[in-house]
Amino acid sequence: MTPFVRHTGLAAPLDRANVDTDQIIPKQFLKSIRRTGFGDNLFDAWRYQDEGDIGQNPNERRIDHDFVLNLPRYADASILLARANFGCGSSREHAVWALLEYGFRCVIAPSFADIFFTNAQKNGLLLIVLQDEVVAHLFAKAQGEGLTLTVDLPTQTLSGGGTDVRFNIAPERKRLLVEGLDDIGLTLHHADAIRAFEAKHRARMPWIFEEPA
Amino acid sequence: MAGRTVYDKIWDDHAVAERGDGMTILYVDRHLLHEVTSPQAFEGLALAGRELWRRSANLATPDHNVPTTNRAAGIDGIDDPIAKEQVVVLDANCRRYGVRQFEMTDVRQGIVHVIGPEQGATLPGMTIVCGDSHTSTHGAFAALAHGIGTSEVEHVLATQCLAQRKSRNMRILAEGELNLGVSAKDMVLAIIRRVGTAGATGHAIEYAGSAVRALTMEGRMTLCNMSIEAGGRAGLVAVDDTTVDYVRGRPFAPVGATWDEAEAYWRTLVSDDDAVFDEEIVLNAAEIGPQVTWGTSPELVLGIDEEVPAAHFFEDASKRELCERALEYMDLKPGTPIASLPVDRVFIGSCTNGRIEDFRAAAQVLDGRKVARNVVQAMAVPGSGLVKRQAEAEGLDSVFKAAGFEWRDPGCSMCLAMNADRLYPGERSAATSNRNFEGRQGYRGRTHLVSPAMAAAAAVAGHFTDVREML
């Protein structure tokens, strides 16, 4: 996983609550067996005026020029401001892959859905939860004169546009992101404990381990 | 020590170790796999040079993008070359790692959340995960079941565990009796309307109360299935006779002395009287009527006798904005009776409502009636090959076909429209599935979620209508 330590970037305001992962990456792109190739189809039904399908050339499609990410002023955005319950719905990790590949390193919102939250963490996409009022302030700045933010994960600070706030993050999430650790490797450090547990579990609940012929 | 909830008990029985970073390593008993969220996980496993931890924990089937016609042709019947590749890759991965799979042509193939319980591969007290958010379905068996992303699928393949933080406990108590014509689907839609689409975020939900106890296992699966639509990753129901009776005799269920031992353990999977829930919500089941969603979030729900609300009806600013967007996308005007909306396509199926009782409930309404002329397509898609076979043995397929429904082969179908089954721009559906998000059932399609009986009633009337008047 790519470590996340410090990042400075332009913030784009996506002013909608309950953005579900079907909107972040629609179903037709889930047919891919790869982890890449999703960036051009991030928010596909909102970014384009035609129906998207896998393998299209994005330059030949009709753009919805009113959609926030298509506004020239946000073309280089790498921090997404979002509203409550961002990433709800389907568990598709493709949503996180699409955000990263598009160029977002960080999403800031008042709240996130549980599965999306975990998926983001596993891929080094930093999610920052801030209070409604703080997010509202950032939205006003980003929609007004524009907002460039600096996220410093070791010190858990977010600064820029007259804002200087400390955000909360669980210590284990922070360490995984800052050090870019291999999550599976961390668990496998406990392989002996897993094997011991499994043997005990099998003795106690043998039916879990049985399978029909 | 304070009493424990069912969730606490299952958690305690699967906690392997603290990882030393605030995460608990939780053992996974059953891992279900399908073609869409597993290929990158198998690839990651191979690239890292890791082995599959426990082969027998895994059970796979293709369901999301398989066609619901011409299934005798097997993989060659998939027209879309990209979708076909996914199914081919699932086959190859299952062969390489020795994972048991119900392939496309196997009568046991079906939607992963239908086949687990059907086979008894879903057992009480298990931890069950799958790269699909509707894995909460299996919680109906007092299992701790939830959806995971592809990185976690790889984590489970490699370690048989997940690194997790414990959720908080929420109890939803539904007391009283459901009225005739009102089902578990109506109950869960009423719950989501009340709790909101993020109301259970961070919580494991336990559904309890006399109305939940009175549900069949299939009803409980419908209820738990949509927990994620209220934000809860997991939803569950305590073990009782209904649970145990359903499991007995299924292919993966234990027999003999092991059964007795298992049953004794399963019977402990009820929340203690002094267990503490962080949140509690109480509903009166008798007050719930047939429900229809009107918007683009599953919390935007109406009773069949209600009218589409105006944005100013909502106090919260973000709800007002959500409502305005939904009105526009769904092409609705405030004050329109939901019962007046014409329906273009009807879909009965999905992991929410694709089981035998769902088709019986719909067939009861359709018997002797015809699909209305303005309905361009009505589809019945059984949740598995075995559900289909059972329905045919009961003659239900004849009822559906005589009414003008298409009787299809099993799969996720128009719930998410990854295959050819879909809505076209501007079309409105009555669907028994679980999500009404923008474009969910097809580009610019408009979805209204209902129960199977309500979907059948809408098919006959050509618009939404109170099914109770047709029973």
Determine whether the interchain pair A88/B83 forms a contact, defined as Cβ–Cβ distance below 8 Å.
Answer: no
- Residue (of B14, B15, B234, B24) closest to B129 by Cα position: B234
Q: Which residue has the higher pLDDT, B467 or A171?
A: B467
ipTM tops 0.85:
yes
Place of tokens 């949503």: A95
Interface residue A26 vs chain B (CB under 8 A): yes
Chain A residue numbers with beta carbons less than 8 Å from the beta carbon of B36 are 30-31, 92
User: Does some domain include residue A146?
Assistant: yes
Chain A residue numbers with beta carbons less than 8 Å from the beta carbon of B53 are 194
Chain A residue numbers with beta carbons less than 8 Å from the beta carbon of B80 are 31
**pLDDT for res B337:** 98
Alpha carbon of B202: minimum distance to chain A alpha carbons (Å): 7
User: Does some domain include residue A49?
Assistant: yes
A136 to chain B: closest CA residue: B318
| Ramachandran class of B160: left when φ > 0, alpha when ψ lies in -120 to 50, beta otherwise | left
**pLDDT for res A136:** 96
Work out the end-to-end distance of chain B between its first and last CA atoms, rounded to an integer number of angstroms: 51
Q: Give the CATH number for residue A198.
A: 3.20.19.10
* Closest Cβ–Cβ partner in A85, A122, A190 for B19: A190
User: Does some domain include residue A1?
Assistant: no
Query: What digits encode the pLDDT tens for the residues A129-152?
Result: 999 999 999 999 999 999 999 999
Determine whether the interchain pair B438/A205 forms a contact, defined as Cβ–Cβ distance below 8 Å.
Answer: no
Determine whether the interchain pair B165/A28 forms a contact, defined as Cβ–Cβ distance below 8 Å.
Answer: no
User: Does some domain include residue A36?
Assistant: yes
**pLDDT for res B175:** 98
What's chain B's average pLDDT?
97
Q: What's this model's pTM, rounded to 2 decimal places?
A: 0.98
Chain B residue numbers with beta carbons less than 8 Å from the beta carbon of A190 are 16-17, 19, 25
Determine whether the interchain pair A113/B21 forms a contact, defined as Cβ–Cβ distance below 8 Å.
Answer: no
Domain count, chain A: 1
Of the listed ranges A87-101, A158-172, B137-151, the one predicted with least confidence = A158-172
**pLDDT for res B333:** 97
- Count Cβ atoms below 10 Å from residue A35 Cβ, excluding itself: 19
Chain B interface test: which of A34, A48, A88 (most B C-beta within 10 Å) = A88
Tokens of B96: 């390489």
Domain region containing A46: 6-209
Residues 244-263 of B with CB under 8 A from A: 251-254, 258-259, 261-262
Do the beta carbons of residue B428 and residue B464 sit within 8 Å?
no
Residues 370-429 of B with CB under 8 A from A: 416-418, 425
**pLDDT for res B118:** 98
Q: Which residue has the higher pLDDT, A182 or B251?
A: B251
A115 to chain B: closest CA residue: B148
Query: What digits encode the pLDDT tens for the residues B187-237?
Result: 999 999 999 999 999 999 999 999 999 999 999 999 999 999 999 999 999
Query: What digits encode the pLDDT tens for the residues B386-422?
Result: 999 999 999 999 999 999 999 999 999 999 999 999 9
* Closest Cβ–Cβ partner in B53, B149, B416 for A118: B149
Alpha carbon of A195: minimum distance to chain B alpha carbons (Å): 9
**pLDDT for res B278:** 98
Pair type for strands B30-33 and B58-60: parallel
Q: How far apart are CA B37 and CA A118, in angstroms?
A: 15
- Residue (of B388, B126, B123) closest to A212 by Cα position: B123
- Count Cβ atoms below 10 Å from residue B268 Cβ, excluding itself: 15
Do the beta carbons of residue B469 and residue B440 sit within 8 Å?
no
Buried b (16+ CB within 10 A) or exposed e, B71-103: beeebebbebebbbbbbbbbbebbeebebbbbb
Q: How far apart are CA B80 and CA A197, in angstroms?
A: 44
Query: What digits encode the pLDDT tens for the residues A94-140?
Result: 999 999 999 999 999 999 999 999 999 999 999 999 999 999 999 99
User: Does some domain include residue A103?
Assistant: yes
Residue B1 has pLDDT above 80, yes or no: no
Query: What digits encode the pLDDT tens for the residues B74-119?
Result: 999 999 999 999 999 999 999 999 999 999 999 999 999 999 999 9
Chain B residue numbers with beta carbons less than 8 Å from the beta carbon of A209 are 56
Chain B residue numbers with beta carbons less than 8 Å from the beta carbon of A207 are 123, 253-254, 258-259, 261-262
**pLDDT for res A184:** 96
Determine whether the interchain pair B258/A212 forms a contact, defined as Cβ–Cβ distance below 8 Å.
Answer: no
Residues 99-118 of A with CB under 8 A from B: 111, 113-115, 118
Tokens of A162: 């007259």
* Closest Cβ–Cβ partner in A31, A176, A201 for B82: A31
Nearest 5°: phi and psi at B434? -120, -10
Query: What digits encode the pLDDT tens for the residues B17-44?
Result: 998 878 899 999 999 999 999 999 999 9
Chain B interface test: which of A1, A2, A90 (most B C-beta within 10 Å) = A90
**pLDDT for res A172:** 87
